[in-house]
Structures are given as structure tokens and as C-alpha cells.
Homo-oligomer: A and B are copies of this chain.
Amino acid sequence: MIPVLPDGPPAGAGLGAFVPGPRLIVDGAPDGPLAGLSFAAKDLFDVAGHVTGCGNPDWAASHAAAATTAAAVRCLLAAGARLVGKTVTDEISLGLLGRNRHVGAPVNPRAPDRYTGGSSSGSAAAVAAGLVPIALGSDSGGSMRVPASFCGIYGLRPTHGAISVDGLMVQAPSFDTAGFFAAAPEAFARVGDVLLPRGEPGTVDEVLVADDAFARADAVVRETLRPAVDRVAAVVGGSRSIGLADEGLDVWNRHHVHLQHPEFAATFAPWVDAVDPRLSFDVAAAIATARLLPEAPRRAAQLFRTEVRARVDALLNGRRILCLPTTPILPPRRDLTLAQTATVGQRLVDLTCIAGMTGLPQVSLPLAEVRGLPVGLSLIGWRGGDRALLELARRMGGGP
């Protein structure tokens, strides 16, 4: 067997952030709060008259052009921003590393030998490379937060339901969110002001540092984030350490799998059955094995989700936020084997499942780096507290 690097970017694709082919460009309204800003959109968002590719050529070949434009795209266009391209996504959004076997993995501008994170890989790469100041992505299991951390940019996974997912490819409806990246905290807040429900940001009164979440991280991540945690605590003016999950975050992760995986397996079943798509092994395996998950643990997971939502809502009630590493690891090298990437994916979900299970908003902030590699710090806000997180990010200012 000849060893091949499975997912280097295709020749001539530059950073590989945008989907191959002509750029999809749509002018925005002549003026508005985002006038003069250009943006990219993950190729899971519909744009009227164009096929949404969703990172898989058989998906593209089996779907008609979208009749209408996704709500989040319409919203940015109406605010004066200009769409300058669709970006690469992990196949049908199932991936956290930023791999795509069909078009190649986008290059991480901050670390060319490392993955960008995914599945909003191209949007993160485009923002990190300075090709666009802002970009739309989506997050069901970590797809905004992981690439924000690995690429050293700002990313929001909003409160579940706070930003419309109308016109966004459905993956697992009870987890799906539409989010956005920005290179700078000012643009991050401006986009949020347009996309999020009206409301005052409100102030954060206390930072709860999730010790158990930090304990899950590699020592290098934990140590690298320490000054950033101190900065957040100083800006907020109050902090304390807590244990978030007495039962262990691996228990959260397991329940998360039993909820999210059957949902996406059900979502994709009619397409898989009708089209018999060519898929990367890991993507097909995720769907195939989800079909085998028994029903009983799923019901237990539903009860668990109800319980932890109430528990964390009570914890954050009173304008408190959780502080944790976005990811427990540094951006992974691109030469991992498939088996290694599976292990990496499981570790990532240990932390991303917190906002996933609770439906709470989470920002990843590019406040640290080590050996030139970005390390994101995450803040999880109270339900509907998205604007408070963006305002806090703005007050923190840029840079590690």
C-alpha cells in the first residue's frame, strides 16, 4: 500500500477555505449596520438559486438549488454585509477536525500542519486568514467552538434557538445552532447585534471556573489558559472555582452521544437510503453505528438532559458565566490516522457537550497561545445571555 495523506488541500485551492468552483457572491443592502463588511457562509446555508453542497458531492448531485436564502444569510445581507463565498464544511457537518475527504481539509492559517477544527472549517480558516472579517457557521456538537479555538478567532454558538436555523442543513434538530466567527471582538459584537434577538447585553457578575472541565484538558492547555482566566476574572470583578459535573463529564458525553447520534442518523436516513452516497468511512460509520444504539439509554439521556438544564440554569441564574477550555487539546496534527482522529473527537466532545446538552450560549475567545498555536478560552452564559458574552468579549479586547 502506498501511504497517502488523505486530506491535503487540492492543488490550486489556496487555503482551501472556499468550496471549489466560482465564488458565490451576493451584494448586501446599500447601507446598514454591517455596510462595508464582507462575509462567507458555510456551505450548509442555503442561498436562493444555488445548490447547497453540504460537503459531499453526492449531496450536491441529489439536491435541487435552494428556493430561498437562509434566514441568517438574509439577515446579514439586509444589514449591508456582502456574501463573498461558500466555505468548506466537514461532510454533512459530521466532524470536529475540519477534514473533508472530497475537497481536502482547509489549511489552518495559524498552523499549516494542524487541522482547523470543524465542521465549520472553511469559515474559520477564511476568517483566520483575513480573507473575510466575519463568517457564518453552524454548531451541533462543537462545530463553531472547536474551529474558533484551533484557528485563533472569535466564535459564538448561540443559545439554542436564538439565531434562526431556517435554511440551514438539518443535522440534529435539538442541537443545531447557527453561529458566526469574527477576527476581532468589535466585528464579533456588531454581527451579534444584527443576528441575535433584541435586548440589553446586561453585565456579568461572576465567573465560575469549571475546575473539572480544566482537569480534562492537557496540562499545556490548562497552563496556557491560566493568564486568560485571570484576565476574565479581573474584568468581571468576581470569580470562584466550581465542579460543574459531579457525575463526570464523560457521563455527559455518553448521554450526548445517545441523544445527538440517533437524531442525525434519523435526519440522514432518507437521503442515505435514496442516494447511497459515497461517504468518508468515519462519517458512514457514525451513521451506521448510531442506528444500532438501543432505545433505553436514549430515554435515560433525555431525562439527564432535562435535569442538567435545570441544574446549570440555576447555577448561572444571577448573571454568572462558566469559564472552561474550548478544547482539551491543542490543534491536532494533520497526519493523524483515522483511529487517532476518533479518539481526538471523543475528547473534544467531553467539553463541547456542556453547551450542547444545556442549550446555553458559548463563546470561544482567542486569548492564549503556546508555541504559536492558538488556544481558545470559552465562556458559557445563561440562557439568552448571548449579548452579555459578546459585550464581555469586547471589553476583554483582542490578543493573548
Residues of A within 8 A of B (CB): 1-4, 6-7, 61-64, 99, 101-102, 270-285, 287-289, 292, 337-339
Q: What residues on B are CB-neighbors of A273 within 8 Å?
A: 337-339
Question: Closest residue to A337 on the B side, CB-wise?
Answer: B273
Chain B nearest CB: distance from A297 CB in Å? Answer: 15
B278 A280 Cβ-Cβ under 8 A? yes
Given contacts A6-B274, A279-B279, A283-B284, 17 further A-B contacts (CB under 8 A): A1-B63, A1-B274, A4-B61, A4-B274, A6-B275, A99-B276, A101-B276, A273-B337, A273-B338, A273-B339, A276-B282, A277-B280, A277-B281, A278-B279, A279-B280, A279-B284, A284-B284
Given A1-B63, A276-B7, A281:B284 Cβ within 8 A: yes
Whether B271 lies near A276 (C-beta < 8 A) is no
Known A-B contacts A4-B62, A62-B2; A287 and B278 likewise in contact (beta carbons under 8 Å): no
Query: Are the CB atoms of A287 and B281 closer together than 8 Å?
Result: yes
Q: Which residues of B contact A62 (CB under 8 A)?
A: 1-4
- Within 8 Å CB of A279, what residues of B? 278-281, 284
For the complex, give the distance between the alpha carbons of A270 and B338 in Å: 10
Residues in B neighbouring A4, C-beta threshold 8 A: 61-62, 274-275
The 10 tightest CB contacts between A and B, nearest first, are A284-B284, A285-B288, A6-B276, A273-B338, A278-B278, A288-B288, A273-B337, A276-B338, A273-B339, A281-B284
Which residues of chain B are near A289, meaning CB under 8 Å? 288-289, 292
Question: Can you list 6 A-B pairs with a CB-CB distance of less than 8 A?
Answer: A1-B275, A99-B276, A102-B278, A276-B281, A278-B280, A278-B281
Which of chain B's residues has its CB closest to A102's CB?
B278
Task: Name which residue of chain B comes closest to A285, CB basis.
Answer: B288
The verdict on A337 contacting B274 (CB below 8 Å), with A2-B63, A62-B2 known, is yes
Known interface pairs A2-B64, A62-B4, A63-B1; A288-B278 also in contact (CB < 8 Å) = no
List chain B residues, Cβ under 8 A from A272: 281, 338
* A63 / chain B contacts, CB cutoff of 8 Å: 1-2
| A278 vs B101: C-alpha distance when bound (angstroms) | 7
Q: Is the CB of B3 within 8 A of A274?
A: yes
Given the complex of chains A and B, what is the CA–CA distance between A287 and B338 in angstroms?
14
Are A285 and B287 in contact (CB-based, < 8 A)?
Answer: yes
Report the Cα distance A7→B275, complex, angstroms: 9
> A280 — which chain B residues lie within 8 A by C-beta?
276-279
- Please name all residues of chain B whose beta carbon is closer than 8 Å to the beta carbon of A278 when the two chains form the complex: 101-102, 278-281
By a CB distance below 8 angstroms, the chain B residues around A101 are 276-278
Chain B residues closer than 8 Å to A274, beta-carbon distance: 1, 3-4, 6, 337-338
The complex places the Cα of A288 from the Cα of B271 at a distance, in Å, of: 19
In the complex, are the beta carbons of A284 and B276 less than 8 A apart?
no
CA distance A273 to B274 in the complex (A): 27
A344 to chain B, nearest CB (A): 14
* A7 neighbours in B (Cβ, 8 Å): 276
Contact between chains at A271 and B64 (CB < 8 Å): no
B-chain residues with CB within 8 Å of residue A283 when the two chains form the complex: 284
Task: Give the distance in Å from the alpha carbon of A3 to the alpha carbon of B289 in the complex.
Answer: 25
Task: For A282, give the chain B residue with the smallest CB separation.
Answer: B276
Residue of B with least CB distance to A342: B273
Residues of B within 8 A of A1 (CB): 62-64, 270-271, 274-275
Nearest CB in chain B to that of A277: its residue: B281
